[in-house]
């Protein structure tokens, strides 16, 4: 039992994982079924399921509120993720590759990891208005302050032998970074991007809190206003599901791209 290096076979692992979920669901069913908690605070699982179906397809209007919301949120996360990769990764690499760049930029980046990024939202609204650019900028900022330090650390974690040996072979300092250090850091940089995109998902409801016409966050705040807790729960589960799918897909792509990664 108490062995952190124990090799667990896939079946046992799945059984234990599913078991925990079943236990939580069971407790939830009991709480709701026996009316131990008011449905206003905790809707029953079946109510959440009903809400999910209700949101998934509206026969009167002939449209899917949940589908539209998911598409909107997904595209915001995706655009912010592209920005994240285009801006955060290069800055992180430059900081990792030069102690000077790092010394100059880290006071601008590192403190924001513990800054209340949500408090920045009103400022962004002032600067950028209440449209898409504000929401995407918020998602981007919320995640990039985590991404940059992680990318920097990934570059720094490459053993110095690679840099030294490339320099000795006649590489310029920049060539050594480009051809010897960065390629070695890529798997960990990819991990950092995956974590940063996961962080974006946690911020999506906040980003869509202000003036969203459509989106999962909007769906939730709308439902909350009408005390439709079952719909709030349904939307939370959809976000968790989407985050999980994104994570799994990105991990699979990373494993394919960097199949040589050393343990």
158: left (phi over 0), alpha (psi -120 to 50) or beta: beta
We find the least distance from the C-beta atom of residue 105 to another protein, in angstroms, to be 20
Say how far apart CA 249 and CA 239 lie, in whole Å: 15
We find the least distance from the C-beta atom of residue 159 to another protein, in angstroms, to be 7
Radius of gyration in angstroms for the set of CA atoms belonging to the chain, rounded to a whole number: 23
Q: Would you count residue 161 as binding another protein (CB under 8 A)? A: yes
We find the least distance from the C-beta atom of residue 127 to another protein, in angstroms, to be 42
- Contact of 38 with 49, CB cutoff 8 Å: no
Alpha-helical segments (H) within 84-215: 89-97, 99-109, 121-128, 132-156, 160-168, 173-176, 182-207
For 46, the enclosing helix (H) or strand (E) is helix 45-56
Q: Would you count residue 150 as binding another protein (CB under 8 A)? A: no
Q: Would you count residue 247 as binding another protein (CB under 8 A)? A: no
Q: Which stretch binds another protein (CB under 8 A): 36-44, 139-147, 162-170, 199-207?
A: 162-170
Chosen residue from 126, 168, 213, 256 binding another protein by CB under 8 A: 168
Task: Please name which of 166, 190, 202 lies closest in space to residue 254, comparing C-alpha atoms.
Answer: 190
Q: Would you count residue 156 as binding another protein (CB under 8 A)? A: no
Q: Would you count residue 256 as binding another protein (CB under 8 A)? A: no
Q: Which residue lies nearer to another protein by CB, 184 or 189? A: 184
Q: Would you count residue 170 as binding another protein (CB under 8 A)? A: yes
Site residues for another protein per CB under 8 A:
159-162, 164-172, 175, 179-180, 183-184, 186, 258, 260-262
């Amino acid at each position: 039992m108490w062995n952190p290096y124990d090799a667990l076979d896939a079946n046992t692992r799945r059984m234990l994982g599913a078991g925990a979920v079943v236990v939580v669901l069971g407790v939830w069913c009991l709480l709701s079924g026996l009316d131990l908690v008011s449905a206003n605070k905790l809707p029953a699982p079946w109510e959440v399921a009903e809400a999910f179906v209700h949101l998934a397809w509206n026969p009167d209007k002939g449209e899917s509120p949940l589908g539209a919301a998911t598409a909107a949120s997904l595209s915001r996360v995706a655009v912010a993720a592209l920005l994240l990769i285009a801006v955060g990764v290069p800055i992180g690499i430059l900081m990792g590759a030069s102690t000077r760049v790092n010394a100059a930029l880290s006071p601008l980046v590192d403190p924001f990891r513990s800054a209340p990024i949500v408090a920045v939202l009103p400022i962004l609204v002032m600067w950028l208005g209440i449209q898409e650019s504000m929401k995407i900028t918020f998602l981007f900022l919320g995640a990039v302050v985590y991404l940059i330090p992680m990318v920097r650390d990934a570059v720094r974690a490459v053993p110095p032998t690679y840099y030294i040996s490339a320099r000795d072979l006649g590489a310029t300092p920049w060539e050594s970074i480009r051809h010897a250090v960065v390629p070695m850091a890529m798997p960990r940089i990819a991990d950092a991007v995956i974590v940063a995109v996961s962080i974006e998902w946690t911020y999506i409801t906040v980003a869509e809190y202000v003036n969203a016409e459509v989106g999962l966050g909007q769906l939730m705040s709308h439902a909350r206003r009408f005390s439709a807790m079952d719909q709030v729960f349904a939307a939370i589960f959809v976000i968790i599901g989407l985050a999980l799918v994104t994570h799994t897909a990105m991990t699979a792509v990373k494993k394919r791209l960097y199949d040589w990664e050393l343990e």
